[in-house]
Structure 1
């Protein structure tokens, strides 16, 4: 392939794709508290009636948990493949914070009387 090929003029390069993935995964991690709050607000107290509002609340809670736990892992993988050392360190810190909080909540739930 010739670098000046007009068919490749609009195609994003590997560096831009990696940068966009890193920004997207970071935004997903930053938005998980809002999604968690919105998902927990949407649940009704009635456990026998399953409404659209409850379904949206469940989807938001799943997205929040995914944003907290999966986005740092995916970000580390993307930044390692894209050879972005700074982004890899940032995702490692995000993972440490997320998993530290998750394990603390898990410990608190398991030792509750």
Structure 2
């Protein structure tokens, strides 16, 4: 239980609250504009733009950067159930598989790649 004492709880709670607030705010905004499916992407872009502007005015706190790195490393396991569900769905889709794969590629891989490039260069 010593690892619990070494965790920077205010940084974790603040980082998670920042991510959740941007995501939920973007989902709400995009729902008002009749495009709730774009909420996650708009939230990610808004958070990145905010962090880029903040970085140009002030230095990003090291606690925020460290916590974000840990969240990104640990969150990879969250995608395993989604991957299994996608494989089951692919088997049942038949002729719609190419369209599904194109949508999946555009909506997941490209934004993640852009985020990684931006984070590596500017954060």
TM over 0.5: no
What is the TM-score when the length of structure 2 is the normalising length? 0.30
- Normalising to structure 1: TM-score of the pair? 0.31
Larger Rg: 1
Question: Which protein has the bigger helix share?
Answer: 2
